[in-house]
Amino acid sequence: MKVFMLGWEFPPFISGGLGTACYGLTKAMNDLGIEVTFALPKVVDPSHSTHVKMLSPGTVIKNTVMRTTSEEVEDELKNVKIKTIQSLLEPYGSVEEYQHRYEDILRNKRMELGGIEFTEEMLVEGKNANGPDYAGDMYSEIHRYAACAVKLAVREDFDVIHAHDWMTYPAGMAVASITGKPLVVHVHSTEFDRSGEHVNQRIYDIERKGMHSADKIIAVSHLTRNTVITRYGILGEKVEVVHNGVDRSVAAKIETSRASIKSEEKIVLFLGRITMQKGPEYFLQAAKKVLSVIDNVKFVMAGSGDMMHRTIEMAAELGIGNKVLFTGFLRGDDVRKVYEMADLYVMPSVSEPFGIAPLEALNHDVPVLISKQSGVSEVLTHALKVDFWDVQEMANKIIAVLRYHPLQMTLREHGNFEVRKFKWEDAAAKCISIYGDMLLRAQPAY
């Protein structure tokens, strides 16, 4: 079976759980013998890849021409090839953030050309011989990416289209329309998760159209499945739940023991995007209550996002600025190190479709406290759970873990054992089963 997959990000260039999920799924599909062509809306330098065969963009004028690099890279994913499209699209970015990036490109191009004025029209119309054919706003860019994806797809051989999250839904629909192949849309997050009740109508419309156009919908949790059905008007029989997995090989790389941390202070970790969806303000409010009882605690906030500055200001306003450390966005070995330091991982998400980070924390022997408003709470037994808004109960449970070593050890040991059942191989196998059912239904009856 061959799959044409559309996603936002892929290692080593990731900024959130979506890239981790895409990598986990494709690696597991590779091991199961499934051929995957992954269309990625980013410029990726193939020299940074050590695990897949990379296909890079060639010269771009009016359209996107793809060429295969001559470099042979490690054949870890022998059945996976990645094709990249020059694009500004980035996961978790807002319309305003996109516009700022777009203006930066114009500014930088003007500087590169010295005295020659580089205008927006030169970008949009493709008049720059060496530059990308960018559109003027995020929504136009999404549709430009869709057009480029179609040009890639017509040269590829595949059986199924698999589109991850809303930015790739128009591309998935376009490829399905041109090729007649069945479409799966994978819902990792919805606009209601990101924005609450104040949804961006244009994004909601894209999500809804993509879901209604798809032959099947994969939701990362029953919580997300319920949102898809009730908020987007989708029939329940069309939506399948496939829980995320965790890469167990990461835990084996840990070499530094917790005993090597000399500080007497306890470490409570928040790791994720610092946005409304992730509940950073509830984390700080709980931290204030914990510090009124226990003083030798540091609260580490690892990540970045549109609430970063407000969160820093809030820590100062609460009078706990000296007890809260902001690391910025972490990746790779830095993530491993911060997990090694932590005594407890807290995910106080307001609305979390799944939540891979708690699985990663358990995989690193770190006990977890998660919000009941998360998909991962459906499947984890050996984790503390709390309503995101109940900061007093959140503080009580943080204090209990930090004060009572037997509780911490029980959560750590049982949680690490439990997380072993969350395998990407199982998630991939379920996706493949969904593909098979779609292809069977698509066969003409005689």
Outline where 222-275 has alpha helix (H).
222-232
Strand order in 384-386's β-sheet? 324-328, 297-302, 266-271, 344-347, 368-371, 384-386
Least confident interval from 13-17, 258-262, 359-363, 388-392: 258-262
Whether the Cβ atoms of residue 268 and residue 400 lie closer than 8 Å to each other = no
14-23, 40-49, 279-288: segment of lowest average pLDDT: 40-49
C-alpha span between 148 and 188 (Å, rounded): 23
| pLDDT for the residue 288 | 98
End-to-end CA distance of the chain: 23
Domains recognised in the chain with CATH numbers: 2-245+428-438 (3.40.50.2000), 248-421 (3.40.50.2000)
Confidence of residue 250 (pLDDT cuts 50, 70, 90): low
Residue 92: the pLDDT is 55
Least confident of 83-87, 109-113, 122-126, 291-295: 122-126
Q: What are the tokens at 209?
A: 């159209």
Dihedral of the alpha carbons of 299, 303, 307, 310, in degrees to the nearest 10: 40
What is the structure's pLDDT at 252? 42
- Give the least confident one: 3-17, 158-172, 214-228, 402-416: 3-17
Sorted by sequence, the CB contacts under 8 Å of residue 93 that are 6+ apart come out as: 101, 138
Average pLDDT of the segment spanning 9-19: 70
Categorize the per-residue pLDDT at 251 as very low, low, confident or very high, splitting at 50, 70 and 90.
Answer: low
pLDDT score recorded for residue 132: 44
Tens-digit pLDDT profile for residues 32-91: 999 999 998 764 444 444 334 333 333 232 333 333 333 333 356 778 888 877 665 665
DSSP-based three-state secondary structure for 371: strand
Q: What is the pLDDT of residue 60?
A: 32
Check residue 90 and give its pLDDT. 61
pLDDT in tens, 402-444: 999 999 999 999 999 999 999 999 999 999 999 999 998 877 6
Q: Which pLDDT score, from 0 to 100, does residue 40 have?
A: 83
Q: Which range (50-64, 221-235, 314-328, 376-390) has the least confidence?
A: 50-64
- The percentage of residues in the chain with a pLDDT greater than 70, rounded to a whole number, is 75
Question: Contact, 290 vs 266, CB < 8 A?
Answer: no
Mean pLDDT across the chain: 82
Q: Which of 305, 241, 279 is nearest to 94 (CA)?
A: 305
Least confident of 5-9, 14-18, 390-394: 14-18
pLDDT at residue number 255: 45
Region 206-234: what's the mean pLDDT?
A: 97
Task: Give me the mean pLDDT over the 198-207 stretch.
Answer: 94
pLDDT digits (tens, 9 = 90+) for 136-182: 577 888 888 898 899 999 999 999 999 999 999 999 999 999 999 99
